Amino acid sequence: MTTRRIPRPPVCGGETAEGRTRWRNDLFGYWQICDARVCRRRRGCAGDAQACFSRYWWLTPEALKVEYRALVRAVCDGLSGQDALRAAKAEVERSAEHIARVDAEVTERIRREDAANAAS
Ligand SMILES: [Zn+2]
């Protein structure tokens, strides 16, 4: 019996969880709005990657998250870059209702927090 080596998709951001979080933070451009000066100065996530992720992930538009998750899934399933992108775009279209609901919830949360901050 021969063992066939199954190709793995590239691990973006390296082998550590922190590196992968930093890579994802950069993919979504969090450094551009990050409170940490070091991130803006280096034009990339350079502070506490997990803290940056926690601060900004929930604010990321749901369509981008759906597309990102579908793209990762498609690449892991072995699709080529173009096919993976097509699959991700199709997933975004299929998820229109979910995306609208989640974005409305986030907008409402922001409105409530702004109102609470204005009252204090
Ligand atoms: Zn940052």
75 and 104 share a domain? yes
Indicate whether 26 belongs to any domain.
Answer: yes
Q: Could you read off the pLDDT of 60-107 as tens digits, one per residue?
A: 999 999 999 999 999 889 999 999 999 999 999 999 999 999 999 999
Give me ligand 1 centre to Cα 59, in Å.
14
Give me ligand 1 centre to Cα 14, in Å.
18
Q: Which domain holds residue 47?
A: 14-58
Dist. CA 8–CA 101, nearest whole Å? 35
pLDDT tops 70 at residue 11: no
99 and 47 share a domain? no
Residues, beta carbon < 5 Å, ion ligand 1: 34, 36, 39, 47, 52
Which string of DSSP letters, residue by residue, matches 12-34?
A: TT-SSHHHHHHHHHHHTTGGGT-
71 and 21 share a domain? no
Give me ligand 1 centre to Cα 84, in Å.
29
Indicate whether 111 belongs to any domain.
Answer: yes
Indicate whether 52 belongs to any domain.
Answer: yes
Q: Could you read off the pLDDT of 47-60 as tens digits, one per residue?
A: 999 999 999 999 99
Domain end, chosen from 5, 40, 58, is at: 58
